[in-house]
Structure 1
Amino acid sequence: MIPWLEPDAPFPDVSTALTEVDGAAGLLAAGADLSPERLLMAYRAGIFPWFSDGQPILWWSTDPRMVLFVDQFRISNSLRKILKKVHHSMASGGSWEVRFDHAFEDVMHACAEPRNGEAGTWISEEIVAGYAALHRNGYAHSAEVWLDGKLVGGAYGVSIGRMFYGESMFTRVNDGSKIALAYLVAFLKSHGVSMIDCQQQTTHLASLGAAPISRFEFVSLLRRAVDAPQITDWKPIAPLPVNS
């Protein structure tokens, strides 16, 4: 039985989340709201919301936790070639452009579009509204890839101190999401962020260098990171260091 959160109630300790034996591994609580204050409280504790339309707000803290240490980000040879092409285009005023925070809600809606034959999405209008409010308060950000003036790839997430929590990515061209992630990783690395939270294990994230760590280790690392000064100058790095 998971606790129901009243509006002013604190989150339970993450160690009380359901286990694999209980089912719904990582489920911690339900209820409350998606206000900026509640979302920041959640992320600072290693908790995130994940639920479908028709469900109450569900709060999770998975164990193990999938993370991408920025030094472990893998740039394949094919992606390296594309990144060099994008940088050359940006430097010469060509058709490619990478921007941060230019179209945050558009990125969220693009991430919400059905993919791979799936009928629905967890990124509901309620989720969009909650994270848009975080964005207006300077805590949620998007990395965007533009081609001929059209948004063709992107990623968004939450930034607290020197911690970044990745939420979702999308692409409308080959490797569009990977281009966005590469620029995001380079930016975060330059600002002393060592780890991106990826929440749950997938083969796609593993192919990019992400790996699972224990919830205990994850929470220990984020506690130090979230107390660091907030990043304020969100601008893509140019040129991107693709040779490292």
Structure 2
Amino acid sequence: MKKNIKYIVLVNILFILFFGCGVSNNSENTLNSSLQNIKQLDLQKEIKSIKKSIDRSDIMKIDKFQLRYGKDGSIQQLLLNFICQDNNKYLFYEINYDTIKKQYIIQNREPEKWLGYEMLYDENQLIESYKQLSFDELTLYQNGNSIYDSFTARYFEETNNIPKTSASNVYKVTNSNKEKLINKDETARGLAFAVTGNKVLKFQDRTSIQSSDGSIYVFTF
């Protein structure tokens, strides 16, 4: 009986050691911000405010950026993931904008490893790239007669070459000059923004969003 108890205690200790070592510190805080329309969205100002609220002054790497907006530009969703190194650890921030409460919900944790960290683009490259996209480009030149209900612009998590076949329109952007890839074998390498059109699909009591083909802008640095 005593041997069984010792065995159970040993198993419990090993369980705690095995799983407990991988647990990272998690926390959550909020930041008020009244986002309205992508026409007035100052991404640099928003990122600066977020960094101030989490007490970070170093340059952050971008793991995710996703912005969804209506055909008039009204913001429906903003997702942004930061990651940086602090001494020998990583700090990961998952940021979700609540359009109802008009605030960012910021969650952070400390992952032990982050594969591909050095390959990620940083906040300054993201800001500079976004600035070079016009409202017409962000709405696929649909104007007021759009066949889509909304649009999504997202940081395309791809650091390899982007081929022409990735979307109907692939543009290589160098020093604000946009060059459309023509030949099927052409590729572009850099920070990529994918812009897609969305349609709302309703079936019985379910609603879903279906994204269609759009354009990819590849910014070289």
Q: Normalising TM by the smaller chain, what interval?
A: under 0.3
- Structure ID, larger Rg: 2
Greater fraction of residues in helix? 1
Greater share of strand residues, 1 or 2? 2
- Higher RCO by CA contacts (8 Å cutoff, separation 6 or greater): 1
